[in-house]
Structure 1
């Protein structure tokens, strides 16, 4: 065992069960909500503000991830960690507003046609698939960092970072493309 592994062997935690449970819950809720009709006659507030908040939180996530990437390229682990925690926070806030909107409202159909419809659906489908995949990837990445499994963290982060960047920026693009139809 190398020195890094020896020093931290007693503090390693098995995060796999939590990662699996969180992934199933998050992806399950999103799948469940996609099939619900929404709350009828909800008028406590204008719920179309929620998709805008989703886009804002996705924008922050994207910026925090870019900051995290820049920090780790400069080998500044402390700043990298802070940006990653900020990205998790903004992603969590996104998830809350996303779930609230899709619980309260039925899905909004895209109103465009032709090339723009094809582009929209391509971005939307890749966004949805990769959003489901990013949940366990991001959680595994952070768990490996917490366990000081630096080499394993780097290996998975090479996949996690670009996918998470893609998911966060395409969330904004999807919002910009569908917002005229709310």
Structure 2
């Protein structure tokens, strides 16, 4: 394959990745603000999903660590399989996350009585943990948007067998993706006491 053909393929991949990277957060943001009940669709809230998708985040973190260990030990096929599985886990997480938020109202951190309002008494109970929760949550959300193109570009470089560029980008992608996966679990653990039973 000539350099011109490679550059042409790169350009097509790059454009597609950028479009997908913009569309996913936009679609999630729109779906996050929409509830199926608003359209007269009577669906039970899928309240069983948060612990499942939090577990998927935990599994993703373990897959990422195992993938790095495998490539450092020269097990390229195992690394490829682990990374592909991590990407699939992230897609499954996203589908479940959106499904939950389409059917259930958002939970507020510290809302012990589940009335949708965190009053002064509840605020006093949670104290500084509310600030900690929001710092983790905000960094998790921002980096979960940033990680989309990073993962896609890193994966595309591997598929194109441009391993020098893949390795360079993976050094940036890995710690961010790992942070997003781990903080996904932390956010769930912190908010779960406030889910309506």
- State if a TM-score over 0.5 links the two structures: yes
TM-score by length of 1: 0.88
Residue 97 of structure 1 aligns with which residue? Answer: 96
Residue 30 of structure 1 aligns with which residue? Answer: 28
Contact 1:65 1:83 in 2 (8 A): yes
Residue 179 of structure 2 aligns with which residue? Answer: 166
Contact 1:36 1:106 in 2 (8 A): no
Instruction: Provide the rounded CA distance (Å) in 2 between the counterparts of 1:11 and 1:72.
Output: 29
Q: CA deviation at 1:103?
A: 1.4
Answering whether residue 139 of structure 2 is matched by residue 126 of structure 1, we say yes
Instruction: Provide the rounded CA distance (Å) in 1 between the counterparts of 2:55 and 2:36.
Output: 23
TM-score by length of 2: 0.81
Residue 66 of structure 1 aligns with which residue? Answer: 65
The list of structure 1 runs, each at least 4 consecutive aligned residues, that deviate by more than 4 angstroms after superposition, is 8-13, 40-46
RMSD: 2.5
Instruction: Provide the rounded CA distance (Å) in 1 between the counterparts of 2:92 and 2:22.
Output: 18
Unaligned runs of 5+ in 2: 111-124
Unaligned runs of 5+ in 1: none
The higher radius of gyration belongs to 2
Residue 177 of structure 1 aligns with which residue? Answer: 190
Q: How does 1:78-117 map to 2 (within 5 A)?
A: 78-111=77-110, 113-117=126-130
